[in-house]
Amino acid sequence: MIWSPWREPVVRLAAAFAAVAVIAALTSVAAVLRPVRVTAAPTLALPSLDESAPSLREQPAPWAHLAPFTPLRGTGGEGVTEPEAAMPTITLIGTVLGGEQPAAICRLGTAAPRILHAGDTLGGWRLVDVAPARAVFIDAARARHELRLSPPGN
């Protein structure tokens, strides 16, 4: 009797799996190469706007006072808005002095606290120095602001 690899059940099972894999691959390639007919989308008619209705262009955006290059942020007396006149409220929450770079943990208004290192900015102020329980900032007008932590219990 002559031995043949096809008589082994493992070889026949492996050949069956290989055949299934080849069929699946050919089916996938055929699906990718098959052209798909695309129909044009129907055109939508937009309602006409009444001339007496207020235009969206006439209404200022609610965040216009935050844009850095708008005419509202000029230094002239006219057009200066209330947010420009008020300085940002920065609260010093803590200082971290261990490690390579000292850091200050600060909060701008009611926003989430941020960790700042020397040179970082927050609300237009740049952090220049961090020491135990204090941080020194410089604002856009180059004025120094020293923030201190309140003593425990206050």
Burial class (CB in 10 A: 0-12, 13-18, 19+), 44: exposed
Tell me, what's the pLDDT at 21? 95
- Return the amino acid letter for 117: H
Confidence of residue 77 (pLDDT cuts 50, 70, 90): very low
- Tens digits of residue pLDDT in 120-146: 999 889 999 999 899 999 988 889 999
Tell me, what's the pLDDT at 65? 57
Burial class (CB in 10 A: 0-12, 13-18, 19+), 135: buried
Question: If you search the block for the tokens 């850091």, which residue do you land on?
Answer: 103
pLDDT above 70 covers what percent of the chain?
A: 68
Instruction: Tell me what the pLDDT averaged over the chain comes to.
Output: 78
Which residues, listed in sequence order, are joined to residue 91 by a DSSP beta bridge?
107
**Model pTM?**
0.43
- Tens digits of residue pLDDT in 9-41: 899 999 999 999 999 999 988 888 888 787 777
Tell me, what's the pLDDT at 23? 95
